[in-house]
Amino acid sequence: MALIVQKYGGTSVGNVDRIKNVAAKIKSFWDRGDKVVVVVSARSGVTNELIARAKSISPNPSEREMDMMLATGEQETIALTAMALHAIGVPAVSRTGAQAGIITDVCHSRAHISRLTGGDILDRLEEGKVVIVAGFQGISSDNEITTLGRGGSDLTAIALAAAIKADVCQIYTDVDGVYTADPRIVLKARKLQRICYEEMLEMASNGSKVMQSRSVEFAQKYGVTFEVRSSFNNQPGTIVKSFEKTMEDAVVSGVALDRTQTRVTVGDLPDTPAAIAAIFDALGEAAVSVDLIVKNVAKSAGAANLTFSVNTDQVQRAEKAIGEALKKIGSGTFRSSGEIAKVSIVGVGMTSHPGVAGTLFRALSEAGINSELVTTSEIKISVGVAPDKADDAVRAIHAAFGLDAPAAQ
Amino acid sequence: MALIVQKYGGTSVGNVDRIKNVAAKIKSFWDRGDKVVVVVSARSGVTNELIARAKSISPNPSEREMDMMLATGEQETIALTAMALHAIGVPAVSRTGAQAGIITDVCHSRAHISRLTGGDILDRLEEGKVVIVAGFQGISSDNEITTLGRGGSDLTAIALAAAIKADVCQIYTDVDGVYTADPRIVLKARKLQRICYEEMLEMASNGSKVMQSRSVEFAQKYGVTFEVRSSFNNQPGTIVKSFEKTMEDAVVSGVALDRTQTRVTVGDLPDTPAAIAAIFDALGEAAVSVDLIVKNVAKSAGAANLTFSVNTDQVQRAEKAIGEALKKIGSGTFRSSGEIAKVSIVGVGMTSHPGVAGTLFRALSEAGINSELVTTSEIKISVGVAPDKADDAVRAIHAAFGLDAPAAQ
């Protein structure tokens, strides 16, 4: 008997039959005496339909009214899920974000949770009921319906798990768990049994798009253990929790790939701290995330080149910001010089094991892949490679660190 | 400058273009300085879609969860309507039933309004905003989302008009107003400029399905003047308000037709008050509405026949109730003997004018139409006729009372 929060995404509740499957899965936990709180998203496609309808009325609809409209998607799903549970004999009751006491700030379309009371959830659980909560939405202290932005339903689940002190939070999705690499690229990728928050964050921010960083950070902050698992089978998934001593033996947990980076080069910059700072300040103010930074001092004395990568969809913003910064500095040129793929190895034990970087670069070298722009952190080393070499790089590195699954027997 | 509540039904906001039209109409009032509160229904079809989805999950879904789901229909429309107003430069803000302080009892799917605070509507109007309120829905004192049942959006509008002391409540619909008869039957039917609540109630319960009785009764109770008018043109509609002296000159305001009646005959009943009462008590307990009652004492002394009409969709319930009552009485037979159409003339001045019944029966006689089962009230005389004669009967009566519009010039 455990207190469990389960979250089912839009694909898992995409139509009536899938909602019935979800209900059957919930029942299997309820049958064995678990107390279950369920967080659901809108049916897949519904949110996009609603957005399209809004955009055909106004190209730039009010965020407050968008939230009012989008919140209906989850509200429909909670009712349907409760009905599906009733139909198989499981007492259940639905709760909107407001009814579940998910109190947010007033930043429409990207609200932050400021407080979570849980409403009467614990009382209903005590009565033997399953409680179905609308993900992605909350209510502000001035009674406005808000939404939490991308990945909001995961956040609802993890925040609820923290508030009611659940034993575990299960994030049901359309993948089996977190893998050592993208299984579509590396056939021998293995599902990880467990991973710590820091690794999960690096895997998430490096393109293994299982969950948004925000939810992982929230879980880390409040110590919520969660499991990423599939809603389409009954296999255990990947458990994400705090770093433990026993996890040290795994040096590299996985290989992540992010294809959406563009290389930007700023040249002929005065080689002064003030000039370098001016560039990065401008990028920061424009909310451009910068990674993989390399600074070269050019042969002509006193001039420096900066190369770094930015998310491809932020290139325009980056160019505008850099252009303005260079005007103030009074010299310098810049250009975006094509897309690059960022390949990263992630692992908590990395810094305490010598030779990790060596293994990485030897693997790339043996595969004949040039790397440029390297960055390292406590638990990560990232390299930029040509996009058409990215898959080969991931496979070579995955094998080199002994991550490949043993051949099938 | 007036304080106006406007209600637009599902057809009026059925798609994006129609929502834009509604916004333009609202703007025309706002432009001239009126304070406007708008009540909208779900887009036509949406409620049926939602119900179908629920029924495919559970044949008998929980009413509480149905309300949770159905309330999303209006919530989407209020947001889209607010966006459409913003797009043409009108400040507007949407409010769910809960936010508008529409407090109901806990009878899901048919809740009654117990209190209406209006929330912050007056403050928002004071700021120059149009306030868009979700019709059909409210919130119970224990924070449950409820719906008001059929005609609920009209009720929302009229109750809001009462709460904020609006100057007028405009019910926009797909008809021009209330006519002296159904214009599809009587080509010369005329739109009534005004009508009193009592007449409106009789017109409504007699098949001129412009509005549910419930909303009219609410308006009468709280003295809310309302106007039924078309959302597709700018013509004035029909104003419904309290009876006034000047309205006495109109003897008969209109002719109503209800095709959904079935004649039931109970024969060989003991001719005692107890036996008659037992039949009607049983029908009352089964919530069967009975009309057009005729009692004949049969030639065989001491036996009576009762003939009356019931709504066709209540026939099965009526048969069951009568069958059980006859068992207790210990004698009697019954049968439903086919559908009949109920034709009614409605008018406040009726009882003080002699000869009204005479005119009615002469008109039927001259048209060669047999009538059976007659009932009268203060403001109504109804007769049962064969369904295939109903249209002829309405036309003949309409002409006989001088209701036909003058021929076009």
* pLDDT at res. B247: 54
* pLDDT at res. B393: 95
Q: What is the mean pLDDT of residues B290-317?
A: 81
Question: Measured between CB atoms, which of B19, B57, B87 is closest to A19?
Answer: B57
* pLDDT at res. B212: 84
Most confident of A151-155, A228-232, A271-275: A151-155
* pLDDT at res. B251: 78
- Neighboring chain B residues of A86 at a CB cutoff of 8 Å: 58, 61-62, 65
pLDDT greater than 70 at residue B298: no
* pLDDT at res. B250: 63
Q: Where in chain A is the domain with CATH 3.40.1160.10?
A: 3-174
- Neighboring chain A residues of B82 at a CB cutoff of 8 Å: 62, 65, 68
pTM of the entire predicted model: 0.83
Per-residue pLDDT band at B270 (split at 50, 70, 90): confident
- Neighboring chain A residues of B145 at a CB cutoff of 8 Å: 96
Distance of residue A228 Cα from the nearest chain B Cα, in angstroms? 27
Segment among B65-69, B120-124, B131-135, B311-315 with least mean pLDDT:
B311-315
* pLDDT at res. B219: 95
Write the secondary structure of chain B as one string of H (helix), E (strand) and C (coil).
Answer: CCEEEEEECCCCCCCHHHHHHHHHHHHHHHHCCCEEEEEECCCCCHHHHHHHHHHHHCCCCCHHHHHHHHHHHHHHHHHHHHHHHHHCCCCEEEECCCCCCEEECCCCCCCCEEEECCCCHHHHHHCCCEEEEECCEEEECCCCEEECCCCHHHHHHHHHHHHCCCCEEEEEECCCCCECCCCCCCCCCCECCEEEHHHHHHHHHCCCCCCCHHHHHHHHHHCCCEEEEECCCCCCCEEEECCCHHHCCCCCCEEEEEEEEEEEEEEEEECCHHHHHHHHHHHHHCCCCEEEEEEEECCCCCEEEEEEEEEHHHHHHHHHHHHHHHHHHCCCEEEEEEEEEEEEEECCCHHHCCCHHHHHHHHHHHCCCCCEEEEEECCEEEEEECHHHHHHHHHHHHHHCCCCCCCCC
C-alpha distances (whole Å) from A382 to each of A193, A218, A394, A399 are 23, 24, 11, 17
Q: Which pair of tokens denotes residue B125?
A: 């109007």
- Neighboring chain A residues of B87 at a CB cutoff of 8 Å: 57-58
Q: Do B84 and A50 touch (CB under 8 A)?
A: no
* pLDDT at res. B284: 86
Distance of residue A278 Cα from the nearest chain B Cα, in angstroms? 40
Residue type, A35: K
Q: What is the pLDDT of residues A244-274, one digit of tens each?
A: 655 556 678 899 998 889 999 898 888 888 8
* pLDDT at res. B50: 96
Q: Which residue of A has its CA nearest to B93?
A: A65
Q: Which residue of B has its CA nearest to A47?
A: B76
Strand partners, B257: B343
Task: Give the separation between CA B390 and CA B259, rounded to whole angstroms.
Answer: 8
pLDDT greater than 50 at residue B23: yes
Q: What is the pLDDT of residues B66-77, one digit of tens each?
A: 999 999 999 999
Q: Do B79 and A87 touch (CB under 8 A)?
A: no
- Neighboring chain B residues of A80 at a CB cutoff of 8 Å: 53-54, 57, 65, 69
Per-residue pLDDT band at A409 (split at 50, 70, 90): very low
Task: Give the separation between CA B72 and CA A76, rounded to whole angstroms.
Answer: 7
Q: What is the pLDDT of residues A294-318, one digit of tens each?
A: 777 766 667 888 888 898 888 988 9
Distance of residue B272 Cα from the nearest chain A Cα, in angstroms? 49
* pLDDT at res. A272: 81
Q: Do B83 and A61 touch (CB under 8 A)?
A: yes
Strands B168-173 and A168-173, how do they pair? unpaired
Per-residue pLDDT band at A207 (split at 50, 70, 90): low
Q: What is the pLDDT of residues A33-75, one digit of tens each?
A: 999 999 999 999 999 999 999 999 999 999 999 999 999 999 9
Question: Measured between CB atoms, which of A16, A57, A87 is closest to B16?
Answer: A57
Segment among A129-133, A395-399, B379-383, B390-394 with least mean pLDDT:
B379-383
> Do residues B329 and B267 make contact, with C-beta atoms less than 8 angstroms apart?
no
* pLDDT at res. A124: 97
Give every CB contact of residue B5 below 8 A, 6+ residues apart in sequence.
B36, B37, B38, B39, B157, B158, B160, B161, B164, B166, B168, B169, B170
Q: What is the mean pLDDT of residues A184-213?
A: 82
- Neighboring chain B residues of A57 at a CB cutoff of 8 Å: 16, 19-20, 80, 83-84, 87
Question: Measured between CB atoms, which of B68, B86, B99 is closest to A62?
Answer: B86
pLDDT greater than 60 at residue B215: yes
pLDDT greater than 60 at residue A234: yes
Which residue, A179, A220, A134, A69, is CA-closest to A405? A179
Distance of residue A210 Cα from the nearest chain B Cα, in angstroms? 29
Segment among A84-98, A357-371, B130-144 with least mean pLDDT:
A357-371
Task: Give the separation between CA B363 and CA B350, rounded to whole angstroms.
Answer: 17
pLDDT greater than 50 at residue A198: yes
Per-residue pLDDT band at A87 (split at 50, 70, 90): very high
Q: Do B93 and A64 touch (CB under 8 A)?
A: yes
Q: Which class is domain B3-174?
A: alpha beta
Which residue, A85, A124, A119, is CA-closest to A100? A119
Task: Give the separation between CA B360 and CA A287, rounded to whole angstroms.
Answer: 80
- Neighboring chain A residues of B88 at a CB cutoff of 8 Å: none
Chains A and B: how many Cβ contacts under 8 Å? 94
- Neighboring chain A residues of B52 at a CB cutoff of 8 Å: none
Q: What is the mean pLDDT of residues A170-192?
A: 89
> Do residues B380 and B406 make contact, with C-beta atoms less than 8 angstroms apart?
no
- Neighboring chain A residues of B64 at a CB cutoff of 8 Å: 93
Interface of B with A (CB under 8 A): 16, 19-20, 50, 53-54, 56-58, 61-62, 64-66, 68-69, 71-72, 75-76, 78-80, 82-84, 86-87, 93-94, 96, 99, 143, 145
Matching residue, tokens 């069951």: B320
Pick the more confident residue, B157 or B246: B157
C-alpha distances (whole Å) from A16 to each of A81, B36, B52, B56, B115 are 9, 40, 11, 7, 37
State which fold the A255-400 domain adopts. VC0802-like (3.30.2130)
pLDDT greater than 80 at residue B245: no
Task: Give the separation between CA B185 and CA B254, rounded to whole angstroms.
Answer: 13
Burial of A127 (0-12, 13-18, 19+ CB in 10 A): exposed
Q: Do A57 and B99 touch (CB under 8 A)?
A: no
Report the percentage of chain A scoring pLDDT > 90. 59
pLDDT greater than 60 at residue B80: yes
Sheet holding B137-140, edge to edge: B113-116, B102-104, B137-140, B145-147
* pLDDT at res. A406: 81
Q: Where in chain A is the domain with CATH 3.30.2130.10?
A: 255-400
Report the percentage of chain A scoring pLDDT > 70. 95
Matching residue, tokens 């224990």: B142
pLDDT greater than 60 at residue B408: no
> Do residues A277 and A267 make contact, with C-beta atoms less than 8 angstroms apart?
no
Q: Is the ipTM of this complex over 0.85?
A: no
What is the average pLDDT score of chain B? 90
Distance of residue B236 Cα from the nearest chain A Cα, in angstroms? 28
